[in-house]
Amino acid sequence: MTTFREHTTAGHDDDRKLTLAEILEIFAAGRLPLRFTAYDGSSAGPEDASVGLDLRTPRGTTYLATAPGDLGLARAYISGDLELHGVHPGDPYELLTALVQKLAFKRPPARVLAQIIRSVGIEHLRPISPPPQEALPRWRRIAEGLRHSKTRDADAIHHHYDVSNRFYEMVLGPSMTYTCACYPRPDASLEEAQDNKYRLVFEKLRLKPGDRLLDVGCGWGGMVRYAARHGVRAIGVTLSAQQAEWAQKAIAEEGLGDLAEVRHSDYRDVHESQFDAVSSIGLTEHIGVANYPSYFRFLQSKLRTGGLLLNHCITRHDNRHGPAAGSFIDRYVFPDGELTGSGRIITEMQDVGMEVVHEENLRHHYAMTLRDWCANLVTNWDDAVAEVGIATAKVWGLYMAGSRVGFEQNAIQLHQVLAVKLDAHGHDGGLPLRPWWTA
């Protein structure tokens, strides 16, 4: 194989049409950690690479050329125009790790860029319709309501969580818990880790039989049911109709109906107050950073004096980056999702008058959780594809494996922040010395 650099050394003609492999080598500055092949017969990268990409169609070229970065790659892959080699579609972790760690794209000089454009062809620079699994861009979602209005939030939640309860059962396992687990040991199972996470939240909130818990964004009711099994009266709310239906059925099957309830409702429509504790596990990502003041003020208003709030959410690794998610995440996974640093979370909780008493970062635990979810998807791949289709199953494998890489490399984190509602004189209701929970 003759590389583009070798052509350059030999003094090639600027008008020569470049192959697709040569174009990729140019953008990658000649450093490809994987094998690349294309429908024009060209190839690049180590022949003995354990992972690789195969660009199969001209449509894939159009997706890559018109949406550079993760969105273009996702479109080509999800549509079947780009194939991954050496990895399972349910867990492309090894390939994504190679891309993130070893591939750094660089903009070529203007002369070379012009040659690339001529080689690709103007017809491939005109945008085409994306795969049907893709949500509208943010600027077009205005027709669904202002960002983070009740209507638009409901649509965003529906896009992500109402995929199929059966599909989630195959990925999440028996706990049906779609949030970071907390592994008591490196070799603990996913189910042990999820149960341990609920135990940790329960203890941090100092819940005891007879107490009242509000769990906002409750998913399939895992925290609600855990609390009810320990004698706590728990109300959960979710914007997903499928989650609420599944949770209510599980509550009935466990005989917890006298203590537990999951409502298909916006958290802002909860009218009860004077709860002993409020848990928010994986909801803050959907709220919108600009809405944090009203969000935490609302949760505070639901607590009695001395009541505790635990906020568990994905965060940035710093407090400087903007809140918007990447294009792939926004279009295919979490429409309107936003992240910020843990410092911003703590600040907003303090600014509504709550005292933050503890916080911790569980990012390594989330990487392990995603590892185990991907393993479940691989194990149940054929049934998952039959349930939701190959394109949606590929979205989930790509998203979860990519998120695992993000947590491992500290691009994102997972923080639990614990706060107490004080009275007018700064009293916390007599909390004991911290910590009162076990790790």
Q: What local confidence, expressed as pLDDT, does residue 11 receive?
A: 43
pLDDT for the residue numbered 4: 45
Model confidence, pTM: 0.90
- Whether the Cβ atoms of residue 350 and residue 417 lie closer than 8 Å to each other: no
Let me know if 288 is exposed, middle or buried by CB neighbors in 10 A (0-12, 13-18, 19+): middle
* Positions of the chain with pLDDT lower than 50, given as ranges: 1-12, 154, 157-160
Sorted by where each starts, the structural domains of the chain and their CATH numbers stand as 4-125 (no CATH), 151-421 (3.40.50.150)
In one-letter notation, the amino acid at residue 168 is Y
pLDDT of residue 330: 87
pLDDT at 161: 53
pLDDT digits (tens, 9 = 90+) for 109-135: 888 888 988 898 888 888 899 998 888
If phi > 0 it is left, if psi is from -120 to 50 it is alpha, else beta; for residue 338 that is beta
Strand partners, 414: 314
pLDDT at 251: 98
List, in order, residues 6 or more apart from 357 with CB less than 8 Å away: 418, 419, 420, 428, 431, 434
- pLDDT at residue 151 in the model: 57
